[in-house]
Amino acid sequence: MQTENSPPTIAAGGKPAAAGQRPAFAAWALGIAAALFGAGLCVNATPHCDLFWQLRAGHDILTTHAIPHADAYSYTRHGAPWVAHEWLAFALFAIAYAKAGFGGVWVVEALLVAATCAILYGNALREMRAPIPAFALTLVAELVCAPLLQARPHLFTYLGLAATCAVTSMARAGNPRSVYWLLPLFVLWANLHAGVVVGVAVLAVLAGSDWLQGRLGGGDAAQRRESGRHLAVAAALAGLATLATPYSWHVYQNIGATLGNGIAMDNVAEWKSPNFHLQDGRILEVFLGIVVCALIASRERRTLADIVLIAFFAHESLAALRNAPLLAIVAVSVAGRHVMSCLRLLLSRAKGDESESLFLSSRPPAFAALALVALVVMVSGMRAQRVVLLSPSRGAASGADAIARASFSVAAFPEGACRFVERESFPTTMRMYNSYDDGGYLIWRLPQFPVYADGRADLYFGPPLERIQALTRKMPWDWSAKVAQGTPDGALPDFALLGSDQSQTRLFLESPNWALVYADSADVDTQNDQVNNTLIFVRRTAASARLVQQCRADCPAVDAIRAAYPGYSAAQ
């Protein structure tokens, strides 16, 4: 039965293709190219601050066979309740790291993204019935997703949402019972990432839309009512599936606390609104413009679900950059047929008829597909080579490990400082003070030293996060007291590990109570998010005097800093 959700297949010459016609070679080739292009976007030099504490948590889950329910990685929040709703993703990343290091983690990331992009292309092709337009729309959607393509658990939400759109499309096109295939996915998804609630919301919106359309009547009212009924049952069961985790309903409590925390929303970059002066914002603007114009100008029937889903995800993507990939995934599946309708309309006005073209053909020549595949592979390869060659973290690594180190910007983290702490045998009884961004790396790299703070924002909600943000952004005049206020007994930490580009580092340099004992480089003015320059300070006490003398003797950069910055030498 033909419905508004199953546009006719158009074959060469503008005639409907025969039912059951096998996809042409070009369709398969372009699908592979779309997947490769998505994997290529994973070669993107961005510091992965959260990856490291997630690897540590995953390692502990695998070795202890226990799911964490309380913090064990900081001394400022030790024992506080912690909802690690992504626990299964942590374990999978930890297994990949144990098998093949950072390269293994990157391969898992690339495979997840490639699978998502392949499903996304399949959704677009099902709606548009023309490989080249479907391929082009998929590539634009992938570019919208690019800033958030990192080795993090939210990749499982992208894959789950793309799969949900694919299955619901088939269910609404005439096989409503197929929607129940999603239920095992939702059980798994709930333990991989809390974004599973987005999938439940999509099912609920589709159920309500189809039920309402069925009640209003029309040529396919009976089918809409049946579809709405099955979707509603599936949404209810999927909602119950989200409780099949070690944390049950506390996952929703955690989501509510996160979304309602103004400090996190205002200070975490991915929770901020897109900046349309930058490339990522402009790409989102173009994609959103294409989708909205297609919905307005399309000659296809617009369903309530089309309008509600696009409006909701458009709003969310404008409110927070991290939601832009969700818009891209849903919009390709919902608006694909409307985009195709507009393309045909533009072609008819340009040529005076709706005759078939190479671009709109459902079976374009193989050479066109091969040319696009070759172009995508070449561009992705050149991009990867450039990122790896320019990365200071590549070192002696090669292959996937070199790509991973470049993509994760490993050199942006305090590896040299961590080696120095180990080499100088800092007593593990000493309390460490660290920046918020480096905390996740230190959880992984120096597990013997609990951190002061780290990137698990939900663990620090309330006064602790307010204090951390004040120390990081505002630097209050009573900064030393603020630091001490965060410790359990109100005492200052024993040593501090800070990047030279952080504003609070200057205060430690100028304080007579802290001794500079290590620096990666004598240039404390270096500000490069791809190259790390970390300084270590030890609080001056009678017990630390010998350690200060020992460390300064072993780090020539300290004397160089004192000579280059005489204003600090008096304090130091």
Element (H, E) at 434: strand 432-434
Cα separations in angstroms, 106 against 114, 144, 152, 395: 12, 20, 10, 17
Tell me if 129 is assigned to some domain: yes
Quote the number of domains for the chain: 2
Tell me if 490 is assigned to some domain: yes
Q: Which of 364, 387, 422 marks a domain boundary?
A: 364
Please indicate, yes or no, whether residues 218 and 355 belong to a single structural domain of this protein.
Answer: yes
Q: How far apart are CA 391 and CA 531, in angstroms?
A: 9
Q: For the chain, what's the residue count?
A: 572
The contacts found for 211-219 with CB under 8 angstroms, 24 or more apart, are 212/304, 213/303, 213/304
pLDDT at site 4: 40
pTM of the complete model: 0.88
Please indicate, yes or no, whether residues 95 and 194 belong to a single structural domain of this protein.
Answer: yes
Please indicate, yes or no, whether residues 429 and 280 belong to a single structural domain of this protein.
Answer: no
Tell me if 53 is assigned to some domain: no
Tell me if 246 is assigned to some domain: yes
Please indicate, yes or no, whether residues 351 and 445 belong to a single structural domain of this protein.
Answer: no
Tell me if 138 is assigned to some domain: yes
Please indicate, yes or no, whether residues 199 and 77 belong to a single structural domain of this protein.
Answer: yes
Please indicate, yes or no, whether residues 254 and 352 belong to a single structural domain of this protein.
Answer: yes
Q: Where are the alpha helices (DSSP H) in 191-249?
A: 196-216, 221-241
Who contacts 415 (Cβ-Cβ below 8 Å, separation ≥6)?
Answer: 445, 532
Tell me if 395 is assigned to some domain: no
Q: How far apart are CA 438 and CA 532, in angstroms?
A: 11
Q: How far apart are CA 362 and CA 371, in angstroms?
A: 17
Tell me if 25 is assigned to some domain: no
Tell me if 73 is assigned to some domain: yes
Q: Which of 303, 329, 364 marks a domain boundary?
A: 364
Q: Which of 364, 393, 422 marks a domain boundary?
A: 364
Please indicate, yes or no, whether residues 359 and 430 belong to a single structural domain of this protein.
Answer: no
CA-based nearest residue to 433, from 448, 420, 449, 455? 449
Please indicate, yes or no, whether residues 471 and 333 belong to a single structural domain of this protein.
Answer: no
Please indicate, yes or no, whether residues 145 and 263 belong to a single structural domain of this protein.
Answer: yes
Q: Which domain holds residue 511?
A: 414-569
Q: How many Cβ atoms from other residues are within 10 Å of residue 260's Cβ?
A: 10
**Helix pair 279-297, 304-319: axis angle to 10 deg:** 160
Q: How far apart are CA 5 and CA 228, in angstroms?
A: 14
Q: Write the single-letter amino acid at 151.
A: A
Token digits for 359?
């671009």
Please indicate, yes or no, whether residues 448 and 352 belong to a single structural domain of this protein.
Answer: no
pLDDT at site 359: 63
Who contacts 565 (Cβ-Cβ below 8 Å, separation ≥6)?
Answer: 509, 524
Please indicate, yes or no, whether residues 354 and 418 belong to a single structural domain of this protein.
Answer: no
Q: Which pLDDT tens digits describe the chain residue by residue (572 residues)? A: 334 444 433 333 333 344 344 457 778 888 988 998 999 899 888 888 899 999 999 999 999 999 999 999 999 999 999 999 999 999 999 999 999 999 999 999 999 999 999 999 999 999 988 888 999 999 999 999 999 999 999 999 999 999 999 999 988 888 888 899 999 999 999 999 999 999 999 999 999 988 888 777 766 777 778 888 899 999 999 999 999 999 988 888 888 877 777 777 776 777 788 889 888 899 999 999 999 999 998 888 888 888 999 999 999 999 989 999 999 999 999 998 999 888 888 877 766 555 456 566 666 666 666 677 777 776 766 666 666 656 666 555 667 888 888 888 888 899 999 999 999 999 999 999 999 889 999 999 999 999 999 989 888 888 888 888 888 776 666 778 888 888 888 889 999 999 887 778 888 888 889 999 999 887 766 555 556 789 999 999 999 999 999 999 888 888 777 776 655 654 55
Q: How many Cβ atoms from other residues are within 10 Å of residue 262's Cβ?
A: 7
Cα Rg for the chain, rounded, in angstroms?
Answer: 27
Please indicate, yes or no, whether residues 62 and 151 belong to a single structural domain of this protein.
Answer: yes
First to last CA, the chain: 81
Q: How far apart are CA 66 and CA 58, in angstroms?
A: 10
